């Protein structure tokens, strides 16, 4: 069942099994606020089991581009298009959020972004490969993030 993410009244709906459910919910709400403010897009997620295409898309890009396999269980996912960008998000039980931004037009921006919820450790599969910058968020506390540019065609 789809869940419209509320960034005013942050809820852990769908994320309850995460050991950092509160901060992961804040991270998800932070993303929802961004898309509402910048694109007037309502950020809606579904349980990962109901969005296998989105989960598989993120997994395929990670595997093909950097030979990365995420060990954590995916909890929620979303896939949408705004202003020529196809965005796919997966929120994992560990507190990790991964998004794939893929411009529909050739030559546009294409990247994978990682965000770590406040209170979680850097996953072993990412630890030696990326440096994470810190960002403060009223909704999510301290968010650590990193990214890489996608080189292949998907």
Quick: pLDDT tens for 3-19. 999 999 999 999 999 99
Which helix (H) or strand (E) segment holds residue 56: the answer is helix 52-66
1 falls in which pLDDT band (50, 70, 90)?
confident
* CA dihedral (53, 108, 125, 88) positive or negative: negative
**Contact predicate 94/72, CB 8 Å:** yes
Tokens of 130: 């990326």
Show me where the domains of the chain are located.
3-149
pLDDT score, position 148: 97
32: closest CA among 117, 70, 89? 89
SS3 32: helix
Tens of pLDDT, residue by residue over 83-137, are 999 999 999 999 999 999 999 998 899 999 999 999 999 999 999 999 999 999 9
Q: Return the pLDDT at 106.
A: 86
What per-residue confidence (pLDDT) applies to 58? 98
Q: pTM score, two decimals?
A: 0.96
- 33-83: per-residue pLDDT in tens? 999 999 999 999 999 999 999 999 999 999 999 999 999 999 999 999 999
Q: Which pLDDT score, from 0 to 100, does residue 36 have? A: 97
Whether pLDDT at 145 is above 90:
yes
Specify the pLDDT at position 132. 96
Angle at 130 between CA 68 and CA 150, to 5 degrees: 60
Backbone angles phi, psi at 14, to 5 degrees: 85, -10
How confident is the model at residue 59, as a pLDDT? 98
Give the residue from 55, 52, 62, 53 showing the smallest Cα distance to 151: 62
CA distance 41 to 123: 30
Does residue 5 contact residue 29 with C-beta atoms inside 8 Å?
A: yes
């Amino acid at each position: 069942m789809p869940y419209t993410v509320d960034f005013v009244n942050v809820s852990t709906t769908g994320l309850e099994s995460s050991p950092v459910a509160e901060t992961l919910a804040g991270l998800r709400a932070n993303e929802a606020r961004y898309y509402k403010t910048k694109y007037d897009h309502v950020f809606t997620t579904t349980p990962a089991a109901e969005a296998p295409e989105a989960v598989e898309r993120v997994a395929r890009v990670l595997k093909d581009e950097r030979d990365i396999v995420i060990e954590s269980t995916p909890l929620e996912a979303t896939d949408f298009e705004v202003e020529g960008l196809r965005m796919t998000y997966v929120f994992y039980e560990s507190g990790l959020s991964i998004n794939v931004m893929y411009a529909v037009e050739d030559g546009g921006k294409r990247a994978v972004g990682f965000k770590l919820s406040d209170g979680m450790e850097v996953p072993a599969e990412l630890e030696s490969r990326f440096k994470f910058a810190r960002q403060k968020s009223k909704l999510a506390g301290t968010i650590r993030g990193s990214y890489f540019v996608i080189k292949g065609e998907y």
